[in-house]
Amino acid sequence: MKRIVLVEPQSKEDHVYKHVRMPRLGLPILGTQLKEAGYDVKIFMGTGDALPWPQLLQADLVGISTTTATCREAYQIAGNLRAHGVPVVIGGMHATFVPEEALQFADYLIRGEAELSFLPLIQTLEVGLTPTDIPGVSYWKDNQQIHNDLLKTPVDMDTLPIPDLTLLDRTSSMHTIPVMTSRGCPYDCTFCCVTEVFGRRYRHRSTAGILEELTRYRGKSIFFCDDNFAANPKLTKELLQGMINSGIKLKGWGAQVRVDAARDDELLALMKRSGCSIVYIGFESINPATLEGYNKQQTVADIEEAIRRFHDHGIRIHGMFVFGADTDTVETIRQTASFAEQNRIDSIQFMILTPFPNTPFYNKLEAEGRILTRDWSLYDGHHTVFQPALLSPEALQIETVKAMKRFYSPKNIWRNLPLTGFGSVIHRTIGWGLTRHFERRNRWYNNLLRGKQPGEPRPVALLYRLLKTAGKDEPQTDARRLKVLLTEHKGILYLKLRGIADKLQLAEVKIILQGLSKERYSQVVVNIEGLRFASDKAAAVFSKSLERLGTRVRRLQVVVAAEKQVGYLFGKGLKKRLRLKRFELLINRA
């Protein structure tokens, strides 16, 4: 098992951060560990259709990273690889939170931090053993999922290698280099899922180790991708002083900090002297009740003070706000846009509160029947996926985009030039373009949310036609008869076919599929686990209509029973289909 390919899938949905070409550090660190152990490693980022498939298919094993918003893409890639017999290990944030779901699409899964488990897992598989005692590993045994206990002690950050970013195929086009100095965060904000994976104990790398890494990046822009860069101000100051003393001249650096960092003059001065050009601050809200509800442990006065003090030191601010708490109204959103303008924040992100699956926040909303969609690709902070308390889902969606548009309007583009220089102009110009692009491309979602109430599936106008040709999905005495179930739930259209279908029946199904409108559904799921074809011709007719549908709907997901069925239906044309942007193939093991 020498050739290992690692993949960070990107979402096909439109969102602002999609255009940032910076990887998360998990795969570069794991890849470097494997390389040091003698493996041939390559890392790719991209949507399924953009990946170099010949290289993926030649790998002895592929590791795939997940976040919630990108998991669908990850599952699709995994499904295609496994259909070709390439073993898949899946890991990352989303897989950690919903291992039962993610393991459906992989051979192995690692929950939580993987630096002490991934290499041992590969070595165990190489000698043909089962990973019974490797912490955090989940796997299949006799068609049952086995989930080993999680790693007991978190990884010691000084034992980690410096990530070798040349393993990535796009290193040369990376504008900003990610560097991580710590993991874990002592705070406990209710909406955050980071602490569940990396813990609340703050773990820091040695200053010497970080400086060694930074010397590789002289003249470059750095993003410290710690969740809370200055959580331990003493250590942060030591690092910044070290950067100044050792003469590492970066082009600039940015980091995520809390408002507390602004209270420390010495820290601010060192940040500026060591080249800090921008801070990303989780302001979250200017609604005191919301800040309290988030357990953010900061006030609106703290936010104003932080903005003033960072600006006094000539450091730009990217203000991160989240809308949709149970105490938020339309007014909260509008007032936040005014607040950001008045306080002259340099750039902003107005996100929609997102309940990441299986977090306590998600489980609470689920129990209250407020989850609107389980299409995880919409869990990207840009889409309303739950029923808010004091405003409609549509209002939350539209007002958030409106507020972004207001901030990133042409009249605001130059406003901060005298305060923080040209950087803010560039960010605001980019923001202007991205916000408008996002608004245009996401109108379908506003339409979907319009008038939508949780738990109330809308009637399917097309249903009657299918029923006429194929009969209801009631228990049938004749097992050979084709049974069709067509339902719509929360913007997803489900078509389930069971029984034996001949060419004529499938030609009818084709007509129905042709009538589906892209604007109406976020996704079409066709489940053919129980479908058999009366002839090769029937399979060909059906395969063609799926192909066409794949080019027309926003996203098509085909659930098949096993690899065998994939070969029969799609065997010859699989390569071609991989280029279809909207096609997803899910292979159900059970």
Residues that bind ligand B12 (CB under 6 A): 10-11, 17, 20, 22-27, 29, 63-65, 67-70, 89-94, 110, 113-115, 118, 178, 180, 192-194, 198, 225, 227, 351, 356, 380-381
Pick what 327 binds: ligand SF4, ligand B12, none; C-beta below 5 to 8 Å, kind-dependent. none
- The whole-angstrom separation of Cα 134 and Cα 509 is 48
Distances (CA, A) of 467 to 18, 487, 505, 532, 574: 41, 11, 12, 19, 31
Q: How far is CA 540 from the centre of its chain?
A: 35
- The whole-angstrom separation of Cα 363 and Cα 64 is 26
Which tokens sit at 12? 């096909």
Return the bridge partners of 89, or none: 63, 108
Hey, which residues between 23 and 42 contact ligand SF4 (CB under 6 A)? none
CB closer to ligand B12, 65 vs 80: 65
Please give the residue whose beta carbon sits closest to ligand B12 in the complex. Answer: 26
Smallest distance, Å, CB 450 to ligand B12? Answer: 24
Which tokens sit at 79? 């499904």
Residue pointed to by tokens 């699409």: 105
Smallest distance, Å, CB 412 to ligand B12? Answer: 22
- The whole-angstrom separation of Cα 33 and Cα 161 is 7
CB closer to ligand B12, 176 vs 557: 176
Pick what 69 binds: ligand B12, ligand SF4, none; C-beta below 5 to 8 Å, kind-dependent. ligand B12
- The whole-angstrom separation of Cα 93 and Cα 193 is 8
Residue 280 binds to ligand SF4 (criterion: CB under 6 A): no
- Listed in sequence order, the DSSP H helices in 216-322 are 233-245, 265-273, 288-293, 300-312
Identified binder of ligand SF4 from the candidate list 57, 119, 194, 516, rule CB under 6 A: 194
Smallest distance, Å, CB 280 to ligand B12? Answer: 8
Pick what 282 binds: ligand SF4, ligand B12, none; C-beta below 5 to 8 Å, kind-dependent. ligand SF4
Distances (CA, A) of 494 to 55, 165, 485, 500, 543: 34, 42, 8, 19, 17
Instruction: Determine how β-strand 137-141 pairs with β-strand 108-110.
Output: antiparallel
Pick what 228 binds: ligand SF4, ligand B12, none; C-beta below 5 to 8 Å, kind-dependent. ligand SF4
CB-based contacts of 242, cutoff 8 Å, min separation 6: 207, 208, 210, 211
CB closer to ligand B12, 185 vs 391: 185
Identified binder of ligand SF4 from the candidate list 96, 228, 522, 565, rule CB under 6 A: 228
Q: Give, as one character, the DSSP assignment of residue 328.
A: -
176, 223 contact by CB (below 8 A)? yes
CB closer to ligand B12, 95 vs 501: 95
CB closer to ligand SF4, 69 vs 189: 189
- Of 71-79, 188-196, 358-366, 430-438, which segment contacts ligand SF4 by CB under 6 A? 188-196
Which tokens sit at 357? 């699956």
Smallest distance, Å, CB 339 to ligand SF4? Answer: 20
Smallest distance, Å, CB 261 to ligand B12? Answer: 16
Distances (CA, A) of 213 to 157, 160, 162: 13, 12, 6
CB-based contacts of 314, cutoff 8 Å, min separation 6: 272, 420, 421
Which tokens sit at 16? 């602002």
Residue 192 binds to ligand SF4 (criterion: CB under 6 A): yes
Smallest distance, Å, CB 8 to ligand B12? Answer: 6
Q: What is the DSSP string of 495-511?
A: EEEEEEE-HHHHHHHHH
Residue 227 binds to ligand SF4 (criterion: CB under 6 A): yes
Residue 185 binds to ligand SF4 (criterion: CB under 6 A): yes
CB closer to ligand SF4, 348 vs 569: 348
Pick what 380 binds: ligand SF4, ligand B12, none; C-beta below 5 to 8 Å, kind-dependent. ligand B12
Residue 226 binds to ligand SF4 (criterion: CB under 6 A): no
- Of 152-160, 182-190, 379-387, 476-484, which segment contacts ligand SF4 by CB under 6 A? 182-190
CB closer to ligand B12, 192 vs 549: 192
Pick what 182 binds: ligand B12, ligand SF4, none; C-beta below 5 to 8 Å, kind-dependent. none
Angle at 268 between CA 163 and CA 260, to 5 degrees: 85
Distances (CA, A) of 296 to 309, 349, 425, 507: 20, 17, 30, 57
- Of 190-198, 247-255, 322-330, 337-345, which segment contacts ligand SF4 by CB under 6 A? 190-198
Residue 302 binds to ligand SF4 (criterion: CB under 6 A): no
200, 188 contact by CB (below 8 A)? yes
Which tokens sit at 214? 């930074």
Smallest distance, Å, CB 120 to ligand SF4? Answer: 29
CB-based contacts of 428, cutoff 8 Å, min separation 6: 346, 347, 408, 412, 413, 416
Pick what 113 binds: ligand SF4, ligand B12, none; C-beta below 5 to 8 Å, kind-dependent. ligand B12
- Of 33-41, 69-77, 180-188, 437-445, which segment contacts ligand SF4 by CB under 6 A? 180-188
CA atoms within 13 A on the CB side of 339: 21
- The whole-angstrom separation of Cα 578 and Cα 309 is 51
Smallest distance, Å, CB 142 to ligand SF4? Answer: 39
Smallest distance, Å, CB 296 to ligand SF4? Answer: 7
Binding site for ligand SF4 (CB under 6 A): 185, 187-189, 192, 194-195, 227-228, 258, 282
